Chains A and B, each alone.
Chain A
Amino acid sequence: MLEINDLKASIGGTEILRGLSLNVSAGEVHAIMGPNGSGKSTLAQVIAGHADYEVSSGTVTYMGENLLDLEPEERAREGIFLGFQYPVEIPGVNNAYLLKAAVNARRKHEGLAEIDAFEFLKLAKEKMALLDMDPKLLNRGVNEGFSGGEKKRNEILQMAMLEPKLAILDETDSGLDIDALRAVAKGVNALRSADRAIVLVTHYQRLLDYVEPDHVHVLSQGRIARSGDKSLALQLEEKGYDWVREAANG
């Protein structure tokens, strides 16, 4: 589904990704781990198409197409979803309104009619129940005054409604208490399916106790230093990131 080959990317003239390669297939859950500054979030932003990041070389192919040619909104409509590490507040814009606009943008792209308002509401409330979210959040401004946990749940709600082909969750677990973490994990697990890929970007292994990855990669200095199965995450937890750094350098 996603093939990244020797990707180099920088922000403000500083190179962050230094020849990263990664393959993600449908049905898989990948965890990308690594210390601060290793390039995890940059990778997520580059895939989503944030204009502040400049790709200097390498290729990113998504569903057989050159992803780097597409505008961010086109990538989204093609089924790429990024769960933001810091979801943005948009005061005055109704949360349900944004959600519906997003769903309809995707549907329009696929040649489907706009979603019926009642159907939309019913679906949103179902998903919110699953995430243990207060339905009132639908009628608030987007993320406006939401707690950290509410913001992250809101990201998962959007993901659940949009049913992406490729979901990248950027540190969705950071700053969550155990209840929120469980709720988020439940949302993610509910979306696991044979035609969907999920990439979890995380600093800690604790999310992986709830969402079991098929593959674990460790990023170091803009490259994948090590790949393995879920036991790699446990090893990391035990030995720390210095172990990978040393392994990469040695």
Chain B
Amino acid sequence: MTTESDKLESLVNRRYEHGFVTDIAADTMPPGLDEDVVRAISARKNEPEFMLEWRLRAYRQWRQMQEPTWAHVHYPPIDFEAISYFSAPMSDDDRPKSLDDVDPKLLETYDKLGIPLHERARLAGVAVDAVFDSVSVATTFKKKLSEAGVIFCPFSEAVENHPELVRKYLGSVVPQRDNFYASLNSAVFSDGSFVYIPKGVRCPMELSTYFRINAANTGQFERTLIIADEGSHVSYLEGCTAPMRDENQLHAAVVELVALGDAEIKYSTVQNWYPGDENGKGGIYNFVTKRGDCRGANSKISWTQVETGSAITWKYPSCILRGDNSVGEFYSVAVANNYQQADTGTKMIHIGRNTSSTIVSKGISAGHAQNAYRGLVRVMPQADGARNHTQCDSLLIGKECGAHTFPYMEIKNPGAKVEHEATTSKISANQLFYCRQRGISEEDAVNMIVNGFCKEVFKELPMEFAVEAQALLNVSLEGAVG
């Protein structure tokens, strides 16, 4: 007979559902990275000269940089010469014009993932720019968006059709030499999403992209750029799943957000990359740079993330509060189970006057996982009236896992109001027994406790995403006890 605490040890172990590889002839470059590879990527995408130059500058800087080692994560050294830096499911020239033209196998993949693209898009009124591997293959609801003047397209299309916008804003939030992975991304990014919301426009629907890694040994380098012009508003959803595989995969995306005066950007993520198996084998390395710039007065950028996947997560969606009265928010749920490692948090940089930021971070650790919150609140000398509130909570399931908190505060304005609260709690065998004695199954009890713990963050997600996130969390923690 197992004891309650033994059971608790093992409640997080359902297999990753989305583990399969779609067999589509991938057009993949041989492994390794040099200037020729960068040129080849740029040429293949028919990029203008300025893009190539931009990539090459990034590449040369990257060559001088060292991989960061300060995060609370451990993994064998990555051989960057063993990675293939480009993979497209089909040739760029004959990309499908509608869903009818899309490879049926791909659509089947979406179905397996529980994402019946067209159905879902139609029912939810969501525009979907589905990224399969590195090249976008389906874009819907374009018409409605273009009527509103909204540009929502694959990044490569933006380079072609709106070079002036790309040139003006690309790298303006995350510069090429920002950090090792951002530089790498800048050199080799293959595609991603581009969004421009014109002045005074409220985007008529939520914009959504599903990401998926598919070709083995191919690092995925997404680039997303969202610009909300003065007085505009947009909500962007990013969600992803990935197929099961043995080898580690590097994923180094960059997301840049620009909010001009009175504009608002809400960016929500549900991240479910393959986390590796129960023994910590395989899984995605998710080294992402996400940053938003509240460039104009009264602008607002809000990050909400539910991170359940990846073997290693290294991610700090941040806000630069440049405009007076600008607002930055970060709501995060990070789940680490089995041998997953997460080092995630945010940076709030207060520059403008009367800027305010809110950080709510919920970390859940189970199995042998390590979960770290790392956050920086910096108040510059000129940022009169700056306010920050940070709430940082950790929940432990079982006794082999760890939770760590690394809050940094650099306050250079004596008038700033900065608050930090932190708690650590544990799902105890007694709590579970109590629930079971009331007729509630152990799994439901864990879900209930975990969802209760996360509800402050879930309520920030758009409705349909919140439901999905809750379900995902339940799946991620299934088997953690029992």
Residues of A within 8 A of B (CB): 48-52, 54, 71-73, 75-77, 81-82, 84, 87-88, 90-94, 97-98, 101-102, 105-106, 109, 141, 158, 162
Cα of A130 to Cα of B296 in the assembled complex, Å: 58
Cα of A138 to Cα of B27 in the assembled complex, Å: 59
- Asked, given contacts A92-B449, A92-B452, whether A52 binds B3 with beta carbons under 8 Å apart, the answer is yes
Q: Are B1 and A51 touching (Cβ within 8 A)?
A: yes
Cα of A72 to Cα of B445 in the assembled complex, Å: 13
Q: Which of B425-482 contact A (CB under 8 A)?
A: 425, 428-431, 433-442, 444, 448-449, 452-453, 455
- Asked, given contacts A51-B3, A51-B4, A101-B444, whether A93 binds B438 with beta carbons under 8 Å apart, the answer is no
Is B7's beta carbon under 8 Å from chain A?
yes
Instruction: Please give me the residue from chain A that is nearest to B4 by CB atom.
Output: A51
Q: Are B1 and A88 touching (Cβ within 8 A)?
A: no
Q: How far is the CB of B361 from chain A (nearest CB, A)?
A: 15
Identify 6 residue pairs between A and B in the complex whose beta-carbon atoms are under 8 Å apart, listed by A's number. Answer: A82-B437, A90-B435, A91-B453, A92-B449, A98-B438, A162-B439
**Which residue, B7, B441, B442, B444, has most C-beta atoms of chain A within 10 A?**
B441
Contacts of B7 in A (CB 8 A): 51
Q: Are A93 and B437 touching (Cβ within 8 A)?
A: no
Q: Are A73 and B441 touching (Cβ within 8 A)?
A: yes
Instruction: Please give me the residue from chain B that is nearest to A75 by CB atom.
Output: B437
Give B311-334 as 1s and 0s: 1 = Cβ < 8 Å from A's Cβ atoms: 000000000000000000000000
- Asked, given contacts A52-B4, A54-B1, A73-B442, whether A90 binds B449 with beta carbons under 8 Å apart, the answer is yes
Q: Are A50 and B433 touching (Cβ within 8 A)?
A: yes
Q: Which of B350-367 contact A (CB under 8 A)?
A: none
Say what secondary structure dominates the interface of chain B: helix
Q: Are B434 and A88 touching (Cβ within 8 A)?
A: yes
Task: Classify chain B: how many residues form its interface, as a range.
Answer: 20 to 34
Q: Are B439 and A141 touching (Cβ within 8 A)?
A: no
Is B98's beta carbon under 8 Å from chain A?
no
Q: Are B448 and A101 touching (Cβ within 8 A)?
A: yes
4 A-B pairs with the lowest CB-CB distances in the bound complex, closest first = A92-B452, A105-B439, A102-B438, A76-B439
Instruction: Please give me the residue from chain B that is nearest to A79 by CB atom.
Output: B439
Cα of A93 to Cα of B434 in the assembled complex, Å: 13
Q: Are B425 and A91 touching (Cβ within 8 A)?
A: yes
Contacts of B437 in A (CB 8 A): 48-49, 72-73, 75-76, 81-82, 84
Q: Are A92 and B439 touching (Cβ within 8 A)?
A: no
Instruction: Please give me the residue from chain A that is nearest to B453 by CB atom.
Output: A92
Instruction: Please give me the residue from chain A that is nearest to B441 by CB atom.
Output: A73
Cα of A90 to Cα of B432 in the assembled complex, Å: 9
Is B2's beta carbon under 8 Å from chain A?
yes
- Asked, given contacts A76-B437, A76-B438, whether A98 binds B2 with beta carbons under 8 Å apart, the answer is no
Q: How far is the CB of A88 from chain B (nearest CB, A)?
A: 4
Contacts of A141 in B (CB 8 A): 452
Contacts of A93 in B (CB 8 A): 448-449, 452
Instruction: Please give me the residue from chain B that is nearest to A83 by CB atom.
Output: B437
Q: How far is the CB of A90 from chain B (nearest CB, A)?
A: 5
Q: How far is the CB of A204 from chain B (nearest CB, A)?
A: 24
**Which residue, A48, A73, A158, has most C-beta atoms of chain B within 10 A?**
A73
Q: Are A98 and B436 touching (Cβ within 8 A)?
A: no
Cα of A45 to Cα of B448 in the assembled complex, Å: 23
- Asked, given contacts A54-B1, A88-B428, A93-B449, whether A101 binds B440 with beta carbons under 8 Å apart, the answer is yes
- Asked, given contacts A50-B433, A51-B3, A52-B3, whether A92 binds B455 with beta carbons under 8 Å apart, the answer is yes
Instruction: Please give me the residue from chain B that is nearest to A54 by CB atom.
Output: B1
Cα of A20 to Cα of B229 in the assembled complex, Å: 77
Contacts of B433 in A (CB 8 A): 48, 50-51, 72, 88
- Asked, given contacts A54-B1, A92-B455, whether A105 binds B449 with beta carbons under 8 Å apart, the answer is no
Q: Are B4 and A102 touching (Cβ within 8 A)?
A: no
Contacts of B3 in A (CB 8 A): 51-52
Q: How far is the CB of A56 from chain B (nearest CB, A)?
A: 11
Given contacts A49-B437, A93-B449, 14 further A-B contacts (CB under 8 A): A49-B436, A51-B4, A71-B436, A72-B437, A73-B440, A75-B437, A88-B431, A88-B434, A92-B453, A101-B438, A105-B440, A141-B452, A158-B438, A162-B439
Contact of A162 among B430, B434, B438, B444 (CB under 8 A): B438
Cα of A49 to Cα of B453 in the assembled complex, Å: 27
Q: Are A98 and B439 touching (Cβ within 8 A)?
A: no
Contact of B436 among A52, A73, A97, A109 (CB under 8 A): A73
**Which residue, A72, A98, A162, has most C-beta atoms of chain B within 10 A?**
A72
**Which residue, B425, B428, B437, has most C-beta atoms of chain A within 10 A?**
B437
Cα of A143 to Cα of B440 in the assembled complex, Å: 17
Instruction: Please give me the residue from chain A that is nearest to B448 by CB atom.
Output: A93
Instruction: Please give me the residue from chain A that is nearest to B450 by CB atom.
Output: A92
Contact of A72 among B430, B436, B448, B452 (CB under 8 A): B436
Contacts of B430 in A (CB 8 A): 88
Contact of A77 among B439, B444, B449 (CB under 8 A): B439
Instruction: Please give me the residue from chain B that is nearest to A90 by CB atom.
Output: B431
Q: How far is the CB of B481 from chain A (nearest CB, A)?
A: 11
